Amino acid sequence: LRLVGLGDVYKRQVKGKDFIDEKKIRTNLEQQAHPDPQRVRDILQKSLSIKLLTPEETAVLLNVTDPALLEEMREAALEVKKRVYDNRIVFFAPLYCSNLCVNRCVYCGFRSDNPEEKRHILSPEEIYRETEAIIDEGHKRLIAVYGEHPKSDADYIADSISTIYAVKRTTPSGNGFNNIRRVNINAAPMAVEDLRKLWRAGIGTFQVFQETYHPGRYAELHPANTIKGNFRWRLYAMHRAMDAGIDDVAIGALFGLYDWKFEVMGLVEHAHDLERQFGIGPHTISFPRMQPAPGSFLSENSPYLVNDDAFKRLVMVLRLAVPYTGLIVTARERAELRREIINYGCTQTDASSKIGIGAYAGKKLQEENADKVQFMLGDQRSLDEVIKELADDGYITSFCTAGYRCGRTGDKIMNLLEKGVEGKFCKLNAVLTFREYLNDYASAATKEAGERLIQRELQEIENTSFFTDKKLLPTFLNYYRRIAAGERDLYMSVSYTHLTLPTIL
Ligand code: SAM
Ligand code: SF4
């Protein structure tokens, strides 16, 4: 593997400088070490008007320790989430396609010098069978994950995207088909020409985690003679994705590698630079906490492991700092913590996840597959169980992928999210896809909780002038009845060209 296209990295630096400036981040954190409560409240007001916070403002929030102020922040975070995304949670499943890897990241079970790992790359037939098993859980979107290796290059990834989209399954109720309608990718940073291959194959979101935004710590954890050892190649991965035409990009940091406050500042700087250079912020931000990985001492003994309290604070601050961006909490976290974190403003999560290579079709728990996993998950509950828990908490599961299929991606969706329109409009598609799930896959207990929730949602929709004024209601109710009677994959695809934003608002 070669790093072709390094010139694309330098092209995106501003005046020869990276958007991550260690000194500036440190100065911000130090200067805002003792936040004034009134300043904090002013910043919360800015967040509530759905505006990206500056790095200085983010540093203020990161330094709040007073329990009463933290509670005000929590409430504001929840309100921001409600305004932008309402009470929807989007579900996906991870599909690990290959654990072959040429890198040696010290925290990861896939690293090439880990003799405990049994290596395997899924064939197209195996990807097909894994996808069938994921669809049979009720999923409609997934994220495919790959180690970095010549065998899992852009052509392999593009082919796997096509294979996944080709799988169709009869639903258990016999009501037509279910399929994966959105394939996101988590893979190594690539050159623009390779990213174009993924774009042509129909990639949803392209996700790369920076791991740590601290250049020195990054160098300690990623040997210099590996591809991943190049900090800048990774730092500008999303800039290249945008250059390739992929306008839904997802960023993240692996929390536990370095100081959590520094990482949050890095993520916010990253969001600012994408906005500055492309006019579009990240579609989602992830904040995975490092989990124990087979054969990795650091994964359990890092001096920077983030405890639950700090974790809750960092999620809250991210929600407030980048109000329009989706936040992903994964099954890495324990069930009870995940439930709480969702309350702090997360918008996406996974369930029924299996991260062993080939583990879905083989129906294997991670304990039976420990030599093929990257790390251990904290929550192995089924999609059905998690959906029930969320329905009990008032959250509606959305399998909606209509946004993408109507072309509401990138700057188009960002505009709607920032103006709070997306949250309202997508409620309709959330209800339609939840209806499908309840009819096709839900257990009796989930169905009972789901029916209660969906009735509340229907009432709210019928009483909301946004829906009645825009004449969306008759079409929606028509689709709802048809889905309840057995039709599938009907979604609201109103063209925004005839709904000018100011009149919607
Ligand atoms: N190989 C590609 C790369 O590194 O970008 C993509 C796949 S890698 C399997 C996906 C992510 O897993 C990494 O970016 C890293 O943040 C995360 N990861 C690695 N080790 C982990 C651990 N011990 N616990 C939790 N997440 C981990
Ligand atoms: Fe390979 Fe990615 Fe794991 Fe690093 S994090 S060892 S690049 S799979």
Model confidence pLDDT, tens digit, residues 41-64:
999 999 999 999 999 999 999 999
What is the whole-number distance in angstroms between the Cα of residue 88 and the centre of ligand 1?
A: 27
For helices 154-166 and 124-137, what crossing angle results, to 10°?
50
What is the whole-number distance in angstroms between the Cα of residue 188 and the centre of ligand 1?
A: 10
Task: Give the ligand 1 atom nearest the CA of 187.
Answer: 6
Which residue type sits at 45? Answer: Q
For the Cβ of 80 lying below 6 angstroms from any atom of ligand 2, the answer is no
Tell me, what's the pLDDT at 505?
24
pLDDT in tens, 186-206: 999 999 999 999 999 999 999
Lowest mean pLDDT among 133-137, 407-411, 460-464: 407-411
For the Cβ of 148 lying below 6 angstroms from any atom of ligand 2, the answer is yes
Task: Give the ligand 2 atom nearest the CA of 108.
Answer: 3
Q: Which secondary structure element, helix H or strand E, spans residue 232, and what is its range?
A: helix 231-235
pLDDT in tens, 107-155: 999 999 999 889 999 999 999 999 999 999 999 999 999 999 999 999 9
Which residues are registered as beta bridge partners of 4? Answer: none
For the Cβ of 149 lying below 6 angstroms from any atom of ligand 2, the answer is no
Tell me, what's the pLDDT at 405?
53
What is the whole-number distance in angstroms between the Cα of residue 494 and the centre of ligand 2?
A: 41
Mutate to test the pocket of ligand 2, among 98, 102, 106, 108 (most ligand atoms within 8 A of CB): 108
Tell me, what's the pLDDT at 422?
55
Identify the residue whose C-alpha is closest to ligand 2 atom 6.
111
For the Cβ of 107 lying below 6 angstroms from any atom of ligand 1, the answer is yes
441 Cβ contact partners less than 8 Å away, ≥ 6 residues apart: 137, 138, 171, 172, 383, 384
What is the whole-number distance in angstroms between the Cα of residue 228 and the centre of ligand 1?
A: 12
Report the share of the chain in percent with pLDDT over 70: 90
Is residue 503's pLDDT more than 70? no
- Tokens representing residue 81 in the block: 């989430």
For the Cβ of 209 lying below 6 angstroms from any atom of ligand 1, the answer is yes
Ligand at shortest distance from the CA of 296: 1
pLDDT band at 377 (very low <50, low <70, confident <90, very high): confident
Lowest mean pLDDT among 25-29, 350-354, 444-448: 350-354
Q: What mean pLDDT is predicted for residues 213-231? A: 97
pLDDT band at 364 (very low <50, low <70, confident <90, very high): low
- Tokens representing residue 331 in the block: 């099954």
Is residue 500's pLDDT more than 50? no
Phi-psi region of 318 (alpha: psi -120 to 50; beta: other; left: phi over 0): alpha
Contact, 315 vs 287, CB < 8 A?
A: yes
pLDDT band at 177 (very low <50, low <70, confident <90, very high): confident
Buried b (16+ CB within 10 A) or exposed e, 162-198: ebbbebeeebeeebeebbbbbbbbbbbbbbbebbbbb
- Tokens representing residue 336 in the block: 């009870």
Buried b (16+ CB within 10 A) or exposed e, 424-441: bbbbbbbbbbbbbbbbbb
Mutate to test the pocket of ligand 1, among 95, 105, 106, 108 (most ligand atoms within 8 A of CB): 108
- Tokens representing residue 19 in the block: 């958007």
Q: DSSP state, 293? A: -
pLDDT band at 465 (very low <50, low <70, confident <90, very high): confident
Judged by DSSP in three states, 95 sits in strand
Between the two ends of the chain, the Cα-to-Cα distance in Å is 50
Is residue 169's pLDDT more than 70? yes
- Tokens representing residue 215 in the block: 């250049």
Q: What mean pLDDT is predicted for residues 239-267? A: 97
Tell me, what's the pLDDT at 501?
33
Q: Whole-number mean pLDDT of the chain?
A: 90
Instruction: Give the Cα separation of 34 and 428 in Å (integer).
Output: 44
For the Cβ of 331 lying below 6 angstroms from any atom of ligand 1, the answer is no
Handedness of CA 341, 374, 286, 430 (dihedral sign): negative
Q: What mean pLDDT is predicted for residues 449-477? A: 89
Q: What mean pLDDT is predicted for residues 75-79? A: 95
Task: Give the ligand 2 atom nearest the CA of 222.
Answer: 4
Spatial CA neighbour of 434 closest among 90, 83, 84: 90
Instruction: Give the Cα separation of 349 and 196 in Å (integer).
Output: 27
pLDDT band at 370 (very low <50, low <70, confident <90, very high): low
Instruction: Give the Cα separation of 157 and 188 in Å (integer).
Output: 11
Task: Give the ligand 1 atom nearest the CA of 101.
Answer: 1
Q: What mean pLDDT is predicted for residues 473-494? A: 87
Tell me, what's the pLDDT at 249?
96
Question: Tokens 């929550």 appear where?
Answer: 379
Q: What mean pLDDT is predicted for residues 342-370? A: 84
Cα atoms found within 13 Å of the Cα of residue 89, Cβ hemisphere only: 28
For the Cβ of 211 lying below 6 angstroms from any atom of ligand 1, the answer is yes
Contact, 354 vs 366, CB < 8 A?
A: yes
Mutate to test the pocket of ligand 1, among 98, 186, 205, 267 (most ligand atoms within 8 A of CB): 186
For the Cβ of 222 lying below 6 angstroms from any atom of ligand 2, the answer is no
Question: Tokens 């049979």 appear where?
Answer: 136
Ligand at shortest distance from the CA of 297: 1
What is the whole-number distance in angstroms between the Cα of residue 342 and the centre of ligand 2?
A: 27
Instruction: Give the Cα separation of 482 and 316 in Å (integer).
Output: 40
Lowest mean pLDDT among 1-5, 28-32, 127-131: 1-5
**How many Cβ atoms are within 10 Å of 407's Cβ, its own excluded?**
12
Backbone φ, ψ for residue 133 (5° rounding) = -65, -35
Instruction: Give the Cα separation of 4 and 154 in Å (integer).
Output: 13
CA of residue 496 relative to chain centroid, distance: 25
What is the whole-number distance in angstroms between the Cα of residue 480 and the centre of ligand 2?
A: 44
Q: DSSP state, 20? A: -
Task: Give the ligand 1 atom nearest the CA of 299.
Answer: 23
309 Cβ contact partners less than 8 Å away, ≥ 6 residues apart: none
Instruction: Give the Cα separation of 160 and 130 in Å (integer).
Output: 11
